[in-house]
Amino acid sequence: MLCINGVRQRRLFTPEGCFSPRYDHLSEPESAKDVPAQIPQPAVGRLSLYFRELYRLREAEITTTNSKELGKLVNVSPPVVRRDLSALGTIGQRGVGYSVDALIDRIGQVLGSGQQWEVVLVGVGSLGDALLRYRGFSRLGFKLTAAFDIDPGRIGSTIGGVEVLDAKELERVLTATPPHLAILAVPADNAAEVASLLVRLGVSGILNFAPTTLRLPPRIAVVNVDLASELQRLAFAVQSGT
């Protein structure tokens, strides 16, 4: 589960658990004009899964799909697929199904992948190193532009094509080219301080891997990723047979 940290005013998710696509920190892209106001949070998770599978279909040179096929790929029923996709507007054709390209465009538009997001990484330990090497971000519109660490053994190295800079350079680099998002992969004890600095330097959203709760202004979107909690949920599911 991605745990959404509380944000009181401009929310990524509303109190009802609905996703409100946000473009408030950017000049509004053309695509944002046609984005549904709210989407239930579970549907957002499914849209992301459809998106991933649609990419696979496109790579396999498959040009159309339907709710049955898509549902099978992400393990949900065809009516759920149809409901999720109809919330995005009319994109399917009876008897023909959905154009893979059109669906990728539309879901990408709604989830914000139809635009380029600049992302910085802070903390290039074992986790940060793996994230820098991961090739899956770019196709979703996320560009890792810079990485920072305090360890002299890491500074100056290039990982996944990104040079690791001294964290002392954060202010200078981010002031020159403010990123939209940041990934925080520092130890928990240092996370709050780094997060506050990132916010002061203009970052609007933080993907937080540090096992700590960040207290940030309500306008900042925070998504906490906690694999240990996920394992705990899995163990619970196995134990309780759910």
Ligand X SMILES: NC(=O)c1ccc[n+]([C@@H]2O[C@H](COP(=O)([O-])OP(=O)(O)OC[C@H]3O[C@@H](n4cnc5c(N)ncnc54)[C@H](O)[C@@H]3O)[C@@H](O)[C@H]2O)c1
Q: Which residues are annotated as a binding site for NAD(+)?
A: 123-128
When binding is defined by CB under 6 A, the residue of 92, 112, 114, 128 that contacts ligand X is 128
Question: Can residue 206 be called a binding residue for ligand X (CB under 6 A)?
Answer: no
In angstroms, what is the minimal distance from the CB of 28 to ligand X? 32
Question: Can residue 131 be called a binding residue for ligand X (CB under 6 A)?
Answer: no
Stretch that binds ligand X, among 9-17, 59-67, 76-84, 208-216 (CB under 6 A): 208-216
Taking CB under 6 A as the criterion, which residues in 133-162 touch ligand X?
A: 148-151, 154
Sort strands 221-225 and 2-4 into parallel, antiparallel or unpaired.
antiparallel
In angstroms, what is the minimal distance from the CB of 171 to ligand X? 12
Angle, CA of 121, 123 and 11, to the nearest 5°: 50
Distance of alpha carbon 14 from alpha carbon 90, whole angstroms: 25
When binding is defined by CB under 6 A, the residue of 42, 187, 217, 218 that contacts ligand X is 187
Distance of alpha carbon 108 from alpha carbon 92, whole angstroms: 16
Token reading at 52:
């991933």
In angstroms, what is the minimal distance from the CB of 234 to ligand X? 13
Q: Which residues are annotated as a binding site?
A: 123-128
Taking CB under 6 A as the criterion, which residues in 18-47 touch ligand X?
A: none
Closest CB to ligand X among residues 188, 234: 188
In angstroms, what is the minimal distance from the CB of 10 to ligand X? 25
Q: Where are the beta strands (DSSP E) in 75-114?
A: 92-93, 97-99
CB 183 within 8 A of CB 122: yes
Please list the helix, strand and coil fractions of the chain in percent, rounded to the nearest 5, in that order.
40, 20, 40
166: helix, strand or coil: strand
Closest CB to ligand X among residues 154, 180: 154
Distance of alpha carbon 177 from alpha carbon 212, whole angstroms: 28
Give me the residues that bind ligand X (CB under 6 A), please: 122-128, 148-151, 154, 167, 185-188, 190, 194, 209-211, 225-227
